[in-house]
Every structure is written in structure tokens, then in C-alpha cells.
């Protein structure tokens, strides 16, 4: 299959959809069912939080929705493309061009400065050196790190490392941003800063942000909260519905 896939997302339509998705992991004789016929749809420009106990399938769901893992059965559509129909090269192209990732462990390169970290994926996307530099500086300014752009990870705090990681994702101007436990390695103050930045990205840029987290502070900033347990979605609540319930007309 040609790696140059065409994104055909319809305006206003869900940007992510999972239909009856199942996923299991097998180790020897041990068979662990992680996702059990899970279905959901994610609307554009929203910050969606996936919460639940450890082992409930949150990170696996995030990996499947972003194309990092294949489903055993069921289908996943992202921006109008069925991910299961794409070969490895096409999936890599899709992730490079349309998605951003933020992980618990930052995933920064020790030898690169903050600016170089952010420019790296932009170079792979085919941007000119000038445009890559301008985007990198703009994104680092947006996360409040203009004064730290020449520093390497060993010279940055945990919160600053995560802000570099967010700037790296943001500079790609992705339609989809996936965040896996982005605040769990941070103290309260830095964690709140990261939450505020993710919230701003969804609001200002119209990026669809899907976040897996145990952090209860994220609930107040999310447009939607999906609670998972045992590979299924137990509840699905939206901020507007909660606000209406708390402040009836």
C-alpha cells in the first residue's frame, strides 16, 4: 500500500472511532484480555481524559487509537482512515504527519538541546531548516521555555523536560495529540502547568487531545471523561452535562 495516504476527515465528524475493538496479550500459557469489544468516538477539538485503575486497558487503548498497536478484532478509524488497512510505512507516515505524542518518560535525546529536540521531527516531515527553526522557537515560546532553548535534558527540570516534549509535539501542528500519563512523574506545581498547557492547546489550536491519566486535576480541564475498568468504558461524562446538572436553568 502506498505510504502517502489521503486523510479524508469530514468537518464536524468524529476524528477517532473504535468499533468493537478487542485486544489480548499472550505470554506462554497466560492469555490476558485487555480490551473487550470496546467502541467509542472522539469529536474534534476536545480534550478527552481516559481514567481508570492500573491494568484496565487505558494505555493499550491509547496505543491502538494512535496506530502504535494493532487490534485483534474490530476497527479503528482516525481522520477518516482505517488504521488496520494501512501497512507499516503508511502508519509511520500517518503518525509523523498527523499526530503528536507526549509520554510519562519525556523521550528526549540526551545530546540534543531543547530547540534541536523540537526541530528533529520537523526535519523528518520535510520542512526547510528555516521553517523548522521558526516553528520550534514558536512552540517553545508557547510552553514558556524561550530562555531554555539551548539547554540539554540533563540541565532541565522534570517539568521543563515535559514542556519540551509538548513543544516537540505541538510544533508538528498535529490534528491529534496523544498524552500517556503526562503528569505522573512531576510534582504538583509542574503537573498543573502541564495540564494548563494541554488545555490551552485544545482551546487555542483546535487540536484533539486524548489523555490517559490517574491525575484527578485533569478532570476539571477535560471536555469529556471516559472511565475504564476491565477493558470496557464504564462511564462517559461531558463537562457541559456536568455544569448543567450543577447549575440547572
Average pLDDT, whole number, for the chain? 88
Residue 247 pLDDT > 50: no
Q: Which residues contact 58 (CB under 8 A, 6 or more apart)?
A: 50, 51, 52, 212, 228
Question: For 170-177, what is the mean pLDDT?
Answer: 94
**86/72 Cα distance (integer angstroms):** 15
pLDDT tier at 219, thresholds 50, 70, 90: confident
Per-residue pLDDT at 1: 35
Question: For 228-249, what is the mean pLDDT?
Answer: 69
- Residues 184-207 have pLDDT tens digits of 888 888 888 888 899 889 889 999
**146/76 Cα distance (integer angstroms):** 38
Per-residue pLDDT at 216: 82
**197/194 Cα distance (integer angstroms):** 5
Of 107-111, 151-155, 191-195, least confident by mean pLDDT is 191-195
Question: For 18-41, what is the mean pLDDT?
Answer: 91
- Residues 43-85 have pLDDT tens digits of 999 999 999 888 889 999 999 999 999 999 999 999 989 999 9
Q: What beta strand segments (E) does 165-231 contain? A: 176-180, 208-212, 224-229
In our burial notation (b when 16+ CB lie closer than 10 A, e otherwise), range 118-140 reads bbbbbeebebeeeebeebbbebb
**51/57 Cα distance (integer angstroms):** 10
**55/229 Cα distance (integer angstroms):** 8
**3/86 Cα distance (integer angstroms):** 8
Burial class (CB in 10 A: 0-12, 13-18, 19+), 227: middle
Sequence length of the chain is 249
- Residues 155-171 have pLDDT tens digits of 999 999 999 999 999 99
Residues β-bridged to residue 77? 17, 82
Class of the CATH domain delimited by 42-71+88-246: alpha beta
**248/246 Cα distance (integer angstroms):** 6
pLDDT tier at 146, thresholds 50, 70, 90: very high
Amino acid at each position: 500500500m502506498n505510504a502517502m495516504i489521503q486523510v479524508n476527515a469530514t468537518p464536524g465528524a468524529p476524528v477517532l472511532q473504535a468499533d468493537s475493538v478487542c485486544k489480548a496479550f499472550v505470554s506462554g500459557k497466560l492469555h490476558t484480555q485487555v480490551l473487550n469489544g470496546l467502541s467509542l468516538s472522539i469529536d474534534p477539538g476536545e480534550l478527552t481524559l481516559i481514567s481508570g485503575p492500573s491494568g484496565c486497558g487505558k494505555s493499550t487503548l491509547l496505543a491502538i487509537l494512535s496506530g502504535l498497536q494493532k487490534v485483534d478484532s474490530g476497527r479503528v478509524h482516525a481522520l477518516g482512515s482505517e488504521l488496520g488497512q494501512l501497512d507499516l510505512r503508511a502508519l509511520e507516515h500517518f503518525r509523523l504527519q498527523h499526530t503528536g505524542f507526549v509520554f510519562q518518560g519525556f523521550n528526549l535525546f540526551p545530546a540534543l538541546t531543547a530547540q534541536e529536540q523540537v526541530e528533529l521531527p520537523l526535519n523528518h516531515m520535510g520542512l526547510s531548516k528555516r521553517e523548522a527553526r521558526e516553528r520550534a522557537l514558536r512552540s517553545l515560546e508557547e510552553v514558556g521555555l524561550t530562555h531554555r532553548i539551548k539547554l540539554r535534558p540533563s540541565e532541565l527540570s522534570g517539568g521543563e523536560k515535559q514542556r519540551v516534549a509538548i513543544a516537540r509535539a505541538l510544533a508538528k501542528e498535529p490534528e491529534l495529540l496523544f498524552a500517556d500519563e503526562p503528569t505522573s512523574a512531576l510534582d504538583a506545581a509542574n503537573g498543573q502547568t502541564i495540564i494548563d498547557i494541554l488545555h490551552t492547546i485544545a482551546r487555542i489550536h483546535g487540536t484533539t487531545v486524548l489523555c490517559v491519566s490517574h491525575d484527578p486535576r485533569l478532570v476539571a480541564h477535560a471536555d469529556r471523561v471516559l472511565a475504564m475498568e476491565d477493558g470496557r468504558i464504564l462511564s462517559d461524562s461531558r463537562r457541559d452535562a456536568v455544569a448543567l446538572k450543577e447549575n440547572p436553568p
